[in-house]
Amino acid sequence: MGLSPRLTGRVTARAHNSPSASAFLRKVEPFFAGNEVTGGPLLLATLLALVLTNSPARDMFEDFWDSPLRIAFGVRQVSHSLAEWIDHGLLPLFFVIIGADVKRELVGGSLSQWRSAAFPLVGAIGGMLVPIGLYLAVTAGTPATAGWGTVITTDTAFGLALIALFATRLPMGVRALMLAFAAVDDVGGLLVIAFAYSDAIDPRGLITAAFALAGIIGLRRVGWVSSVPYVLLALLLWGGVLESGIHATIAGVLIGLTVPVAPRLAQGQFAQRVQRRVDDFQRAHGAAERAADGEEGQALRERAEERLGYLHEMAAATTVASSRLIEVLTPWVNYVVLPLFALSNVRIHVSADLMGMIGSPLVTGVILGLVVGKPLGFLGFTWAASALGLARRPDQVSWPMVVGVGALAGIGFTISLFIAGLAFGDSEMREAASLGILVASVLAAAAGYAVLHLCAEPRHQAEAPTTT
């Protein structure tokens, strides 16, 4: 589930030569090697950020990310710190992948039936409301109530990476469920950022973003192929959302949802359309090989190239745009975007005063909301919706697996840290909230892994070759 087929084969072969090394690499590789979003580089960057923010280089390290970067457009200029540019400019690429992946599951995957799609939607609603309720119950009457948004979102990268550890030992529906739940969860968090933690919404930015989104949809309707207009409109959409005051990551989700999940040309149609062109190319190429240099030979070679160009374009039409986009963006998101986000946003200064806040309402509320509220809300709402016939569990996904996904949903890292910064600024309360998020994420990851480990098929059965 996490590794590509070729990498899976390599790992299996390696097991015969070095069983002990293979056992270790089998656990580690899904965090670093795969064709999906992985959490390994993000984890390493988080640990590095924790070390640097508690070292003598702390001031230099933080000042670097706080240094301003200005972009001027004539008399108009935009200025943000490096950390803010990463949040608004790079992090949306991660949500492009999430949006495209969710659309793929909704259109042709395990969530293609409306009841199956309703399952993670209902779960996400519960996974937001219950944590908020628990957090507010603990922090009522204290300044910490402003941080209620920190318990809303789920860190998709870490959750998917932990599920990938089980490779083929869990049904694909588990990953699809986690992906859809996290996507809805993140959209909810982004809306909270937009309307609860933004000072003002600029309608001009929203109009610009709506115009760009309509343009992308319109080009899709008429079957426009060239990618240049889409890229320009996507940049305009991102700029409009950023200008509106809404967090730019919502633009990433919208862009991902507009990417086609079906090829322009089915493989069966491809075979029918190109057979005659293949024969024409063979004849033209053979004639060009036999022709002498001169105008006639040049004309024959150009004719062969024209036939080859037609075949190239038709072959490209069989590629699914969403799969290609995810393939291109995933390495950049894994090894550049998410690590830079962690390096620029993780600022927990370990001290006696900070450790003394572990039992405070703020830290307790964050931990309780993420570790208890997320799985409780996810399981409770999905069970109720299923009992009422409003939703249906994905095929082969058991209720214990649902509990495991709900527990992993308590890993609130990426956007939770961002919301903590919006809610508390550069204060001790932000550090306390970040500490609570870090502790809760570790506890939620351990609980989710333990539950899914019990649900997973034994490794020797999952890896046994099938016979016919």
Per the CB < 8 A criterion, the answer to whether 438 and 396 are in contact is no
Q: To which residue do tokens 């986000």 refer? A: 341
User: How many angstroms separate the CA atoms of 304 and 283, rounded?
Assistant: 8
DSSP symbol at 246: S
What local confidence, expressed as pLDDT, does residue 35 receive? 63
Structure tokens at 82: 């490096």
Give me the phi and psi of 73, to 5 degrees please. Answer: -125, 85
Q: Is the dihedral of CA 61, 66, 199, 426 positive or negative?
A: positive
What local confidence, expressed as pLDDT, does residue 466 receive? 47
- For the chain, domains (ranges, CATH) are 5-10+21-198+246-262+320-462 (1.20.1530.10), 267-312 (no CATH)
Classify burial at 466, counting beta carbons within 10 Å of its beta carbon; exposed 0-12, middle 13-18, buried 19 or more: exposed
Residue-by-residue DSSP string for 387-406:
HTTS--PPTT--HHHHHHHH
Per the CB < 8 A criterion, the answer to whether 131 and 407 are in contact is no
What local confidence, expressed as pLDDT, does residue 414 receive? 75
What local confidence, expressed as pLDDT, does residue 1 receive? 42
Per the CB < 8 A criterion, the answer to whether 330 and 37 are in contact is yes
User: How many angstroms separate the CA atoms of 247 and 194, rounded?
Assistant: 6
What local confidence, expressed as pLDDT, does residue 14 receive? 57
Helix (H, G, I), strand (E, B) or coil at 194: helix
Determine if residue 93 is left, alpha or beta; phi over 0 gives left, psi from -120 to 50 gives alpha, anything else beta.
alpha
Classify burial at 416, counting beta carbons within 10 Å of its beta carbon; exposed 0-12, middle 13-18, buried 19 or more: buried
Residues paired with 80 in a beta bridge? 69
Single-letter amino acid, residue 61: F
User: How many angstroms separate the CA atoms of 1 and 169, rounded?
Assistant: 9
CB count in 10 Å sphere of residue 181: 29
Cα 326 to chain centroid distance, Å, stands at 10
CB count in 10 Å sphere of residue 14: 14
Structure tokens at 58: 């702390």
Residue-by-residue DSSP string for 46-114:
HHHHHHHTTSTTHHHHHHHHHSEEEEEETTEEEEEEHHHHIIIIIHHHHHHHHHHHHHHHHHHSTT-SH
pLDDT < 70 regions, the chain: 1-36, 74-75, 109-111, 167-168, 198-200, 268, 292-294, 296, 459-468
